[in-house]
A and B are shown apart, each in its own frame.
Chain A
Amino acid sequence: MGRGRLQRHTCARRLLPLAAAVLLPLLGACGADPYPGALPGELHVPLSSAPQSLDPIRGSDQYSNTCISNLYDQLYEYDYYSPTFELKPCLAAAMPEVSEDALTYTIRLRKGVRYIDDTCFRESAGRGREVVASDVKFNILRLMDAKSRSDGTWLFKDRVVGLDAFAAASASPKIPKNTHRSRYDKAEGYPDVDGLEVVDDHTLRIHLIKPYALLPWILTMGYTSVYPPEAVALYGDDLSVQAVGSGPYRLGERPARLKHKLVFERNESYRQDLYPANGTPDMKEFVGQRMPFSPRVIATVFEEDQPAWLYFLSGYLDRSGIPKDSFDQAIDRSTGGLTQALIQQGINLTKDERLDIVYDAFNMEDPNFGSPAGERGLALRRAISLATDVNWQIEHLYTGRARPVQGPILEEFREFDPEFRNPWLRQPGETREAALDRARRVLAEAGYPGGVGAPRLTQDVSAGTTGLQFFQATQADLADIGLKIDALQMSFPDMLKRQRNKESQFWGVAWGADYPDAQNFFQLYYGPNKSPGSNATNFDDPEFNKLYEDAALLLPGPERDRMYRRMQEIVTDQCVWVFRVRRKMYTLVHPWLHGYRYNDLSTKYFKYCRVDENARSLARARLGKPNPWPIVWTSLVLLALVVTTFWAARNTRRAW
């Protein structure tokens, strides 16, 4: 037996200075500012998810597209502040010259526009060369090259003379895969593409198989960005983390897997691009001044809402959306405006309609709910559409940031008919109970009184709480008319897989327009696009298909408007989709950020933004002032605990 007592020893005395030597500099470096060494006027923006790639041919997700559109220029761009999504020339010198038969587009390029300096330009010792028409041709060929595996091939499929043959030939196993390919030689087996005619260095002529009125819009997209073949030759697949363009910004540093943040630096050799007269009112004095304004843009990737929201509140992001869980912190529900706390910070709120539709889709080949079920299937779809309480969803699940949508032709499209009402949605002035009565009558007439005998429905639901909340709302709605529904939760890729295999029965999804034309929504109902194509509903109606094909040959005009409206009648009457809502984008902007406006089709906004550094610095000094007291108190408590423990130890007798 012995007496145990912790002996006083010198270890602690040795460790304390060491700990102090390590901890004190660390504490000195502490502070919440995540941008040490920031440049004055630097723009700080969030990205809600990591971009998959900076390679233009892979820019399918919104976040990649945001980066690509600010690093590269395209032939055309949206007039950023135009509410009607007008186009204007970007790398092109003017809008395209279209032949009378609408089969030939002649595009003239601006002269003297140069790429950024980069080591890929070996012939000019790294100095960026001029953008020429053959680059555009190469870019389109690379997009369509089967071995590039771009998912943007749909843009030009069945459109340009000779391009489909090129795509087919490029898939041949005889041609080796070469990610550094900077030319498509006939000797290697690539056919000539007569539809892409390089007339001279500054003129490209595109010959179409059939009229393609959407072409100028297509030429604004990230997929059709213009870049030099030399960059592909040097970087190959590494273009996913490199960029050699002629856009307003260049990559400031090679991003680490595109995961955390991307730094964009102003392209000092950017072409003359002046701030437009139709910009925001706070930028009046900058009209006609050369863009881009911010010397550097830092786009931080936030996969979670909370850190992004806290960053914004601290002034470390210049703009932000409103996370669902922070809605009440930002918006006063009684007024629909900002809360007092945010008003006092001078934050501005903008509300913009998104060019999208959120809907529930039926698999039209399903034996119980699709076309094979005939009138009974149709009755079930109509009843489900009538029973869906969109208004409740808007209030509770969208926190008011959405409104009902009647059909696939949105207000911004020229074919929009304000008088049109989807007959199988709750009508204006109709009570919820009246809509449910209509749904019950439809069911009873189909032989399912009170839902008795009706088949059970299964909905594919995306993993996560939001998907489940929407499912539970649908479940409650259908229970009101006696229908039963089950959920099958899965990841989005798995949902896609099931849809492609025609295994899904019913699922909810949102589709954002790629360009301001209802054709972008109608292609989702076109029979030949059935699964595994974009028409995941497998709707295949001869009248609709004929109208779709005929309308595709027409330029916008009264005849095409009539066809579009008839197509809308068909799909709403057949209830292929349960039309739910189109969403609204609420954006919060700090008072020091000028020139920003949300645009649903264009993410090329960096160049328009200007930061008032004085205002931001003052606000940050106020918002981000460190509070040392919690450290002091915590240290004191810890010290007290340690002292007490050692005191107890010295005075404790214990047996081994």
Chain B
Amino acid sequence: MAGYIARRLLLAIPTLIGITLITFLLLSVAAGDPAQALVSMKGGEYEIEQARRETGTDKPLVVQYLRFLGETFTLDFGDSWVKNRPVSDLILEGIGPSASVTVPAFILATLIAIALALLCAFYRDSLVDRLTVISAVAGLSVSSLAYIIFGQYWVGYRWSLLPVFGYESGLHGIVFLILPWLIWVAISVGSDVRFFRTVMLEEMGKDYVRTAAAKGVPTRTILFRHILKNAMIPIITRVVIAFPFLFVGSLLLERFFGIPGVGYLSIEAVTTNDYPVIKALVVYSGILYILFTIISDVLYALVDPRVRLR
């Protein structure tokens, strides 16, 4: 397994170079001169020239790309062009708030979805199953913005049960997170239930389940020890691959609830042409994606002894 992981990590290097190349081409070639957008309407040619010099965009493209490559491998992307602060500081400050919303909400949503999916699969084609599937589809069809607006208006404003908006770090800040968590769960549980239900149904139809039932194995054991364990590979794939996105945050929730996370940082960077932040976010996301893909492969082997990593 160690050899497999080492090989996958080595393979990540060309993947990362590919990511940097595409990012660089998109930002520095297709999008044009960023210095012109960095200087406000009041600035002129002199200020733009200074901006080019200070940001290094006056250098030849090859030099700029090599510098980006160096930044990628040292994970030091310098200072934000707009905020004049180290990019790593900005991202580190944002990860906590983002994760405090997304990770608990994701875990809660996944647990609820797995439980509902098991229930639906077990009572497939019954009223319980149909009602859950209809609710899941209906929930999926509603825009996430509608959940946010409804939640803030009714739960926060009309019923005064939770703060409409805000963020505080630490335990006393949990009260600000409950509404975003509930909204996240409402938004994501529908699609998760449908996916997990399909996975469970597929497992339930297999011979080993029928054999176990024929041998008199208790239902609980069949459900939780056999079916759930065998359904784990697709579940792990979905869950583990979602993790990198949790650190990137949820744009809408962060924006509507004033959560100072990474999601909003990324959009802010795009709208203000803050290339160092964009580059760092792309590279960090790429690295996380690669790492979590490897982790999911390793987990396959752990949950299913038939899988061998070579």
What is the chain B residue whose CB lies nearest that of A239?
Answer: B84
Q: Are B265 and A529 in contact (CB under 8 A)?
A: no
B152 interface contact, C-beta 8 A: yes
Question: What is the CA–CA distance of A629 and B83 in the complex, to the nearest angstrom?
Answer: 46
Instruction: Name the segment of A126-134, A496-504, A538-546, A590-598 touching the other chain.
Output: A496-504
Q: Number of contacting residues on A, CB 8 A?
A: 82
Q: Does B234 contact A (CB under 8 A)?
A: no
Provide the residues of chain B in CB contact with A351, threshold 8 Å. none
Q: With contacts A307-B257, A310-B152 known, is A34 near B213, CB below 8 A?
A: no
Beta-carbon contact of B159 and A260 below 8 Å? no
A447 to B270, CA, bound (A): 45
Contact B160 A497 (CB under 8 A): no
User: In the complex, what residues of B have CB within 8 A of residue A52's CB?
Assistant: 82-83, 272
Closest to B169 in A: A256
CB <8 Å contact, A496 and B164: no
* Closest Cβ–Cβ distance, residue B296 to chain A (whole Å): 28
Take A151-B43, A314-B160, A500-B36 as given contacts and tell me if A30 and B178 are in contact as well, using a CB distance cutoff of 8 Å.
yes
Binds B, one of A72-80, A407-415, A619-627: A619-627
B232 at the A interface (CB under 8 A): no
- The B33-66 residues at the A interface (CB cut-off 8 A) are 33, 36-48, 50-51, 53-54
Question: Which A residues are in CB contact (< 8 Å) with B149?
Answer: 306
Count A/B pairs, Cβ under 8 Å.
219
Residues of the A chain whose Cβ atoms lie less than 8 Å from the Cβ of B209: 656
- Is A296 at the interface (CB under 8 A from chain B)? no
Q: CB of B175 within 8 A of chain A? A: yes
Contact B97 A256 (CB under 8 A): yes
B94 within 8 Å of A (CB atoms): yes
Task: Tell me whether A533 and B258 are in contact in the complex, defined as CB-CB below 8 angstroms, given that A149-B50, A626-B160 are known contacts.
Answer: no
**B93 at the A/B interface (Cβ < 8 Å)?**
yes
A508 nearest CB across to chain B (Å): 14
Do the beta carbons of B258 and A151 come within 8 Å of each other? Answer: no
**Once the chains are docked, how many angstroms separate the CA of A9 from the CA of B218?**
12
Complex contacts, B54 vs chain A, CB 8 Å: 146-147, 149, 177
* A contacts with B: majority SS: loop
Report the bound CA distance from A237 to B165 in whole Å.
30
Q: How far is the CA of A329 from the CA of B202 in the complex (A)?
A: 53
**Which one of A240, A534, A645, A652 lies within 8 Å of B42 (CB-CB)?**
A534
Query: Which residues in B have their C-beta under 8 angstroms from that of A303?
Result: 255-256, 258, 264
CB pair B160–A256 under 8 Å, yes or no, is: no
Q: How far is the CA of A307 from the CA of B219 in the complex (A)?
A: 48
Pair A493/B272 contact, Cβ less than 8 Å: yes
A151 near B271: Cβ-Cβ < 8 Å: no
Residues on A with C-beta less than 8 A from B46 are: 153, 157
Neighbouring A residues of B176 by C-beta, 8 Å: 34
Which A residue's beta carbon lies closest to that of B268? A50
Q: Does A241 interact with chain B (Cβ within 8 Å)?
A: yes
The reply on B163 being an interface residue by CB < 8 A is yes
Checking A7, A304, A536, A628 against B41 with a beta-carbon cut-off of 8 angstroms, the contacting residue is: A536
Chain B residue at minimum C-beta to C-beta distance from A32: B160
Using an 8 Å CB-CB cutoff, how does the interface string of B89-124 with A read, 1 for contact, 0 for none? 010011001000000000000000000000100110
- The contact of A493 among B44, B163, B178, B271, by CB within 8 Å, is B271
- Is A648's beta carbon under 8 Å from chain B? yes
Residues of A contacting B204 in the complex (Cβ-Cβ under 8 angstroms):
656
Chain-B contact segment, one of A53-61, A433-441, A470-478, A576-584: A53-61
Please tell me if the beta carbons of A300 and B271 are within 8 angstroms of each other in the complex: no
- Distance in angstroms from A309 CB to nearest chain B CB is 9
| 7 pairs, A vs B, C-beta closer than 8 Å | A1-B213, A1-B214, A6-B219, A154-B47, A532-B39, A626-B160, A649-B122
Beyond A4-B222, A50-B268, 12 extra complex contacts between A and B, CB < 8 Å: A1-B210, A29-B174, A29-B175, A30-B162, A33-B163, A151-B43, A306-B149, A307-B257, A310-B152, A536-B41, A627-B159, A645-B119
The 6 closest A-B pairs by CB, nearest first: A2-B213, A259-B260, A493-B37, A533-B44, A307-B165, A32-B160
